[in-house]
Amino acid sequence: MKNLLLSILSIISLLCFSQTTHTVNGGMSGNTFYFTPENLIIEQGDNVVWINDSGCHDVNGTTNSITNEPFNNPESFASDVTCEVGAVIFAYTFNVPGLYNYDCSIGSHAVNGMIGTITVNETEPECEDDNSLIEEYFGNFFISDCTALVNYLSSNYGYDLVTSCNWDGQPMNDFGSLTIADICECTCTETQNSSVFESQIAKKEKYLFSINTHGSTIERNGKAIVFDVYNSGKVVKKIIIN
């Protein structure tokens, strides 16, 4: 009962403080041993919780129990043996991208199928607009953020998004070695709500569909990073913000 309570508390803690928590069940059915799903794909920073369905098992991400060779995972991990049904065998946060192999090191469980892999995809770094710096430089023009600056450059100078983001402030201001792209990372990446950027796409180019970072076709709605595909072969990365 005590172990079960600790297991519940561990899961609650992971759900509260992690990006996403994934569950892997481990157990036996007749002479077959398993981790399911056997092959799991997650994002950097996600957690994985292994639950014991039956028998006594551990989670071993250090040395291959079949070959006795090291797994050479990006990070090593291992758990104690758990025999309580429904209890957490192990919980781990995967912060380093890469492919992880693991098994159950108890007896002949691994050779009888109790093996698994986890693929950790690298999370794209978040962008940031330094709107306070834009207001410091361009407040006299009633420009207080990056979007307003890009729109101003478009309306008054005919700059497209690429030209605006490559601008170094001259002759109005001196950004040193910086450009607008360095100051306005999000605005220079975001294209979904930018009529300036859309004007760069030739009229003959036809939008076909959008895919996400995993290559799956998706609808363009909700906050997400998407890639728009056109009939010319052009692929445009967009950050949808609404």
3-state secondary structure 157-184: HCCCHHHHHHCCCCCCCCCCCCCHHHHE
- Residues 85, 182: one domain? no
- Residues 44, 142: one domain? no
* Position with higher pLDDT, 44 vs 5: 44
Sheet hosting strand 32-36, strand order edge to edge: 32-36, 21-29, 47-52, 88-93
Last residue of a domain, one of 121, 140, 155: 121
Domain of residue 72 covers 2-121
pLDDT digits (tens, 9 = 90+) for 62-105: 999 999 999 999 999 999 999 999 999 999 999 999 999 999 99
Asked if omega into 171 is within 30° of 0 (cis), the reply is yes
- For position 80, which CATH number holds? 2.60.40.420
With H, G, I as helix, E, B as strand and everything else as coil, classify residue 122.
coil
Last residue of a domain, one of 121, 152, 181: 121
Distance CA 150, CA 193 (A): 12
Q: What pairing do the DSSP bridges indicate for beta strands 224-230 and 207-211?
A: antiparallel
Q: Which of 117, 131, 10, 109 is nearest to 61 (CA)?
A: 117
Structural tokens at position 223: 């906050």
Q: Is residue 126 part of a domain?
A: no
Query: Torsions phi, psi of 85, nearest 5?
Result: -65, 130
Q: Is residue 95 part of a domain?
A: yes
Query: b/e map of 1-25 (b: 16 or more CB within 10 Å)?
Result: eeeeeebeebbeebeeebeebbebe
Distance CA 217, CA 226 (A): 9
Fill in the amino acid letter for 113.
Answer: G
- Residues 54, 110: one domain? yes
Mean pLDDT of 199-213: 63
The pTM of this model reads 0.52
Of 4-18, 109-123, 147-161, 214-228, the range with the highest mean pLDDT is 109-123
- Residues 135, 41: one domain? no
CB-based contacts of 170, cutoff 8 Å, min separation 6: none
- Please provide the distance, in angstroms rounded to a whole number, between the alpha carbons at the two ends of the chain: 46
Domain count, the chain: 2
Q: Is residue 162 part of a domain?
A: yes
- Residues 101, 182: one domain? no
pLDDT digits (tens, 9 = 90+) for 45-67: 999 999 999 999 999 999 999 99
Mean pLDDT of 191-199: 42
Q: CA torsion, points 185, 188, 194, 200, in degrees to nearest 10? A: -170
- Residues 216, 107: one domain? no
What's the maximum distance between 2 C-alpha atoms anywhere in the chain?
77
- Residues 114, 168: one domain? no
What is the model's pLDDT at position 175? 86
Q: Which of 90, 86, 126, 100 is nearest to 14 (CA)?
A: 90
Distance CA 177, CA 166 (A): 11
What is the model's pLDDT at position 207? 76
- Residues 181, 225: one domain? yes
Of 73-77, 119-123, 180-184, 215-219, the range with the highest mean pLDDT is 73-77
- Residues 19, 79: one domain? yes
